[in-house]
Structure 1
Amino acid sequence: MKRKFNGKRQAAKMVLGVAWYEPEQWERLLDISTDRDELEATHAEWERNAVHSMKSLSRGGVWLEKVSVDLEELVQWCLSRNLPVDGKSRAAFASEKLRQGSEEHKLG
């Protein structure tokens, strides 16, 4: 079956998971992170920067999804892979959680 071309091209969208933390988690996140010095001092500052970055990326055609992070699950995930709890690992964890959620959604 052929699709009729309507003259408009759909832009491929990249979907990125963004690790999202609750205010009450912030001190614990700082405690467990090896890159603590690279993180904002407060949750409010981090959230402001995260929202700004998300808006900027969205304007560039990237589709972003917030991924709620359970910090103890993150710690276990990193330990099981012998990884430090740092920005790279937090991003990989969020991506994996997003992918798992997407796969579960397809199956359900």
Structure 2
Amino acid sequence: MSMFSEGPVTVGICWYHPEDYQECRKLFAATDPLQDTYAEWLKQAEIIELQTKAQGAIVVRTFVDPKTFPKWCKKHGIKKMDSGARSEYSQVKAREMSQEN
């Protein structure tokens, strides 16, 4: 059953390429560390993705590039690169992607 009464909403979930994961971990280590390994992170992320879809949402994987994410944060006035910043990034990117379709 959908928790969204007005139809499905689009939800962005931050996603990482395996080759970028360790660099992303370093980027977020001080404020909001990620799981030790990509495999650990992926397992948790896939569970969250399934739960979100089960609630009726359309899930968009928004890939975080460790080279461009700090620039995106700066451009949007985000000083702390933590889970809140990643969440905001993923929602903005998901909206952008859904508007392109």
| TM-score bracket relative to the smaller structure | 0.7 to 0.9
Amino acid in the other structure paired with 1:90: R
Structure 2: stretches of 5+ with no match in the other structure:
none
1:40 to 20, 35, 38: 35
SS in structure 2 at match of 1:57: helix
Normalising by the residue count of structure 2, what TM-score does the alignment of the two structures yield? 0.82
Aligned length: 94
Q: CA RMSD in A?
A: 1.7
Distance 1:43 1:96 in 2: 24
Deviation digits for residues 33-78 of structure 1 (CA, Å, limit 9, x no counterpart) = 1211xx2111111011010111112111122111122222111111
Normalising by the residue count of structure 1, what TM-score does the alignment of the two structures yield? 0.77
Q: Contact between 2:10 and 2:59, CA under 8 Å: does it hold in 1? A: yes
Distance 1:96 1:72 in 2: 18
Larger helix share, 1 or 2:
1
Query: Could you tell me which residue of structure 2 aligns to residue 7 of structure 1?
Result: none
Change (3 A) 1:35 1:94: same
Amino acid in the other structure paired with 1:91: S
Distance 1:56 1:100 in 2: 23
Amino acid in the other structure paired with 2:73: C
2:91 to 91, 95, 101: 95
Structure of larger gyration radius: 1
Distance 1:82 1:51 in 2: 27
Query: Could you tell me which residue of structure 2 aligns to residue 85 of structure 1?
Result: 81
1:22 to 17, 22, 28: 17
Deviation digits for residues 1-44 of structure 1 (CA, Å, limit 9, x no counterpart) = xxxxxxxxx861121011110111111111111211xx211111
Structure 1: stretches of 5+ with no match in the other structure:
1-9
